[in-house]
Amino acid sequence: MATNLHSVRLDKGKCVGCTGCLKRCPTEAIRIRKGKATIIDELCIDCGECIRVCKQHAKIAVTDPLSSINRYKYKIALPAPALYGQFKRIDDISSITRGLLRMGFNDVFDVAVGADLASRAIMEKLKSPSCPKPLISSACPAVLRLIQVRFPELIDNVVDVRSPMELAATRARSEFCKRTGAKPEEVGCFFITPCASKATAIRNPIGHTKSAVNGAISILEIYGLLSSQLRRVKSDDHDEIEPHPCTALGIGWARTGGEALAIEEEEALAVDGIENVSRVLEQIENDRLPELKYFEGLACEGGCVGGPIVFENMYIARNRIRQLVVNLPKVKVSDAVSLDDVRELGDELCFDAPIRQIEAMKLDSDFSAAVKKLDRIEEIRKKLPGLDCGSCGSPTCQALAEDIVGGYAKEMDCLFLLKARVSEMARQMVEISELTRE
Amino acid sequence: MSILKEEFNVAKMDFVTAGEASAQIKRILKKLGVDAGVVRRLSIACYEAEINLVIHSDGGTLSLEVNPDDVVLISKDIGPGIPDIELAMSEGYSTASDDVRMMGFGAGMGLANMARNADKFRIESKVGEGTLIEMIFNLKQEA
C-alpha cells in the first residue's frame, strides 16, 4: 500500500526517537528505526493517537490547505458538527455559516444534514429481517480500518450506508447545481474536519470507489481565521440566511452516543476511544452481546468533538454541543427526513464496493510457514526480558520477537540481551587473559 | 500429527483472567491466517468453553491443536461433571448461580452454542470426575 494513502505522517526533523507514540499506538503500527519513528502502512488506522501523544509534535495530520479551495470555481464548505463545539457563545450556528462564507466559500452545507440522512437510512436497514446483529456504524473511518485489520470477521456487520460527510457532499453539490446552474465538476466540496482519518477516507474511501468530497481542511487550520470572522459577523452582518435544515439530533452526532440516539434504537451501544472500541469489538466477536442491535464505535474519546486536530478541549467542546442541542427544537429524524429524501441520493447512498480484509496480522501466506514462524517467535520471546520497555524500537517484547522473525530486527536490538552478551564477552576476555598470562 | 499445540490453564471463579485464554487462541489463529469465518465461530465456541470452565468447573484446561486440515479445541476439567448431558445441552438450561447471572453469564446457551459453532462436537462427562469437550473446526471446505 502506498504511503500517501495515510494522513498521519512523521515530521522527521522533530522526531527524537522516544517511545511515546510507540507505546500508545493501538495497532502497534509504529517502530523506532535508526532513531526515528516509522509507521507501518498496513497496520496504521489513522486514529491519530500518536498525534495527540507526541510531545515534539513530530506526528502530523496531512490535510488540505485552505488555499486548495481555489482549485474550484465554486467552493462549498461542509462543516463537521464538531466544529460548533469549538467556539464560545454559539447559540446560533448561522454565525458560523456566515463566518465560513466570509472566508471565501460560496455555500455552506451542514454535515449534520448528511447525518440526518444517514440516520434515516440506517433506521430502514435496521427494520430489515436480514439485518446482521449488531449492525456496526460506518461513520468513523478509523474504526472501519480497525475492523479491516483486526476484526475482519465483523466486516459483514458494518452498515453499508455512506458516512454523513459523503451524503452531505452529494446533496450539497446537487442542490447547488440546481440552484445556480453550475456544472457538478466546477463545484468543490470541502469537509472541515476534526480528524485525519476523514482525509484518508476521502482519498481512499472504504466501501465505495469514489468520494463525493474534494478535500479536507482541518479545524485547527481554519480556527484562527474563522474566529476573527465570527467577531466581525456579530457586529456587521445582517444578511438573511436560510434556517439550517438539520435537526438537533444531526448535530448530536458530534459526540458519542449521538448517532445511537438519532436512529431511535433502544438496543444500541456507543463506545469511544480506540482501545475501548477494540475491547467491545472483541466482546461482539465472542458473541457476548447477542441482544445488541446497533454498535456505534468512535476512535476518539468524546466522539468527533475529541478529534486530534481540533482546537478546543474535548470536555468543553462536548458540553457546548450538548447545550446547543438542548436549545434547538426537538424533532425526530423520522419526522424531519422522508424516505424520498434518502432515495434521492440514488447510487450514492450505499456502498458499492466490498470492504476488504487487510491481512496485516498474518505471519505468512503459507500456512505451515506461518506455524513455523509462530514457533520461532515463541522461542525468541522466551529469551526476551518481558519488560516491554520499547528501547529496541518495537512496542513490546512480543512485537520484537515477531519483528526478528519477520527480518525487520535483530536479537541484539534488545538492550538486555546486548548487556548479557557484553558481560559474557567481558568474562571470556578475563578468562583468556588469565590463561595466557606469562 | 498436529503442527501446533498450546495449552492454557483456566481457574475456577477467576473473573480477573477470564477470557484471556480465548483471546490468545484467537490471536494465534489470526496470525496463522485462518479464514475469518472460522475464526469467528471458533472465538464464540472458545469463549463459551472458557467461561464454562470458570463458572461451572473446579478448574481445567483449554487446549488448542492446529492441524493442516482442522483446528481442534479441547476443554477438560477436573469436576464436578454433568449428571444429565442431554438436559444441559438444551437451550436455556443453566445451573449458574444468581451471582453469575448478574454478571451477564449463565444464560444457559453455552453447550448448545458451542455445538452449533463447531463442525464436530463431542462431550463426555462423569459426575465426580469431570467433563471433556472436543470441538473440531474444518479449515478446508469439504468437497
Determine the average pLDDT of the residues in B19-47: 92
pLDDT by position in tens, chain A (length 438)? 444 588 999 999 999 999 999 999 999 999 999 999 999 999 999 999 999 999 999 999 999 999 999 999 999 999 999 999 999 877 678 889 999 999 999 999 999 999 999 999 999 999 999 999 999 999 999 999 999 999 999 999 999 999 999 999 999 999 999 999 999 999 999 999 999 999 999 999 999 999 999 999 999 999 999 999 988 876 655 566 666 689 999 999 999 999 999 999 999 999 999 999 999 999 999 888 989 999 999 999 999 999 999 999 999 999 999 999 998 889 999 999 999 999 999 999 999 999 999 988 889 988 889 999 999 999 999 999 999 999 999 999 999 999 999 999 999 999 999 999 999 999 999 999 999 987
For residues A7 and A28, membership in a common domain is answered with yes
* Residue B142 predicted with pLDDT over 60: no
* Residue B102 predicted with pLDDT over 90: no
For residues A297 and A406, membership in a common domain is answered with no
For residues A76 and A154, membership in a common domain is answered with yes
- Which pLDDT score is estimated for A146? 96
Determine the average pLDDT of the residues in B25-50: 92
- Which pLDDT score is estimated for A251? 95
ipTM over 0.90: no
| Nearest partner of A248 among A145, A316, A336, judged by Cα | A336
- Which pLDDT score is estimated for B93? 72
Least confident of A370-379, B72-81, B95-104: B95-104
- Which pLDDT score is estimated for B143? 43
For residues A340 and A411, membership in a common domain is answered with no
Selecting from A287, A361, A368 the residue whose C-beta is nearest the C-beta of B3 gives A368
Residue A361 inside a domain? The answer is: no
Residue B143 inside a domain? The answer is: no
Determine the average pLDDT of the residues in B129-135: 93
- From chain A, pick out residues whose CB is under 8 angstroms from the CB of B65: none
What residues make up the domain containing B121? Answer: 4-138
For residues A298 and A388, membership in a common domain is answered with no
- Which pLDDT score is estimated for A278? 96
Asked if the Cβ–Cβ distance from B43 to A361 is below 8 Å, we say no
For residues A38 and A96, membership in a common domain is answered with no
Number of domains in chain B: 1
Question: Residue B81 in contact with residue B93, Cβ under 8 Å?
Answer: no
The CATH code of the domain that includes A23 is 3.30.70.20
CA of B71 vs chain A CAs: smallest distance (Å): 13
Percent of chain B, pLDDT > 90?
51
CA of B129 vs chain A CAs: smallest distance (Å): 29
Three-state SS across chain A? Answer: CCHHHCCEEECCCCCCCCCHHHHHCCCCCEEEECCEEEECCCCCCCCCHHHHHCCCCCEEECCCCHHHHHHCCEEEEEECHHHHHCCCCCCCCHHHHHHHHHCCCCEECCHHHHHHHHHHHHHHHHHCCCCCCCEECCCCHHHHHHHHHHCHHHHHHECCECCHHHHHHHHHHHHHHHHHCCCHHHEEEEEEECCHHHHHHHHCCCCCCCCCCCEEEEHHHHHHHHHHHHHHHHHHCCCCCCCCCCCHHHHHCCCCCHHHHHCCCCCEEEEECHHHHHHHHHHHHCCCCCCCCEEEEECCCCCHHHCCCCCCCHHHHHHHHHHHHHCCCCCCHHHHCCHHHHHCCHHHCECCCCCCCCCCCCCCCCHHHHHHHHHHHHHHHHHCCCCCCCCCCCCCHHHHHHHHHHCCCCHHHCHHHHHHHHHHHHHHHHHHHHHCCC
Residue B12 inside a domain? The answer is: yes
Determine the average pLDDT of the residues in B38-53: 92
pLDDT band at residue B108 under the 50/70/90 scheme: low
Residues with Cβ within 8 Å of residue B142, at least 6 apart in sequence: none
Is A286 part of the contact surface with chain B (CB cutoff 8 Å)? yes
Is A362 part of the contact surface with chain B (CB cutoff 8 Å)? yes
Asked if the Cβ–Cβ distance from B19 to A363 is below 8 Å, we say no
Number of domains in chain A: 3
CA of A371 vs chain B CAs: smallest distance (Å): 6
Selecting from A152, A154, A374 the residue whose C-beta is nearest the C-beta of B28 gives A374
- From chain B, pick out residues whose CB is under 8 angstroms from the CB of A363: 31-33
Is A367 part of the contact surface with chain B (CB cutoff 8 Å)? yes
End-of-domain residue from the set A60, A87, A108: A60
* Residue A71 neighbours by CB distance under 10 Å: 11
Rounded to two decimals, what is the model's pTM?
A: 0.91
Asked if the Cβ–Cβ distance from A361 to B30 is below 8 Å, we say yes
Is B63 part of the contact surface with chain A (CB cutoff 8 Å)? no
For residues A133 and A275, membership in a common domain is answered with yes
- Which pLDDT score is estimated for A168? 97
- Which pLDDT score is estimated for B107? 63
Residue B30 inside a domain? The answer is: yes
Is B22 part of the contact surface with chain A (CB cutoff 8 Å)? yes
For residues A284 and A313, membership in a common domain is answered with yes
- Which pLDDT score is estimated for A148? 95
Is B92 part of the contact surface with chain A (CB cutoff 8 Å)? no
Q: In terms of pLDDT, which residue wins out, B38 or A235?
A: B38
For residues A340 and A397, membership in a common domain is answered with no
Residue A317 inside a domain? The answer is: yes
The CATH code of the domain that includes A419 is 1.10.15
Residue A140 inside a domain? The answer is: yes
pLDDT band at residue B97 under the 50/70/90 scheme: confident
- Which pLDDT score is estimated for A85? 95
Selecting from A155, A286, A365 the residue whose C-beta is nearest the C-beta of B47 gives A286
For residues A224 and A273, membership in a common domain is answered with yes
Is A368 part of the contact surface with chain B (CB cutoff 8 Å)? yes
The CATH code of the domain that includes B78 is 3.30.565.10
Residue A356 inside a domain? The answer is: no
Reported as a single tens digit per residue, the pLDDT across B59-73 is: 999 999 999 899 999
- Which pLDDT score is estimated for B96? 74
For residues A55 and A92, membership in a common domain is answered with no
Distance CA A28, CA A177 (A): 45
pLDDT band at residue B84 under the 50/70/90 scheme: confident
End-of-domain residue from the set A14, A30, A60: A60
- Which pLDDT score is estimated for A129? 92
- Which pLDDT score is estimated for A103? 93
Taking one residue from A and the other from B, the number of pairs with CB-CB distance under 8 angstroms is: 57
Chain A residue with minimum CA distance to B45: A286
For residues A5 and A87, membership in a common domain is answered with no
What residues make up the domain containing A307? Answer: 66-348
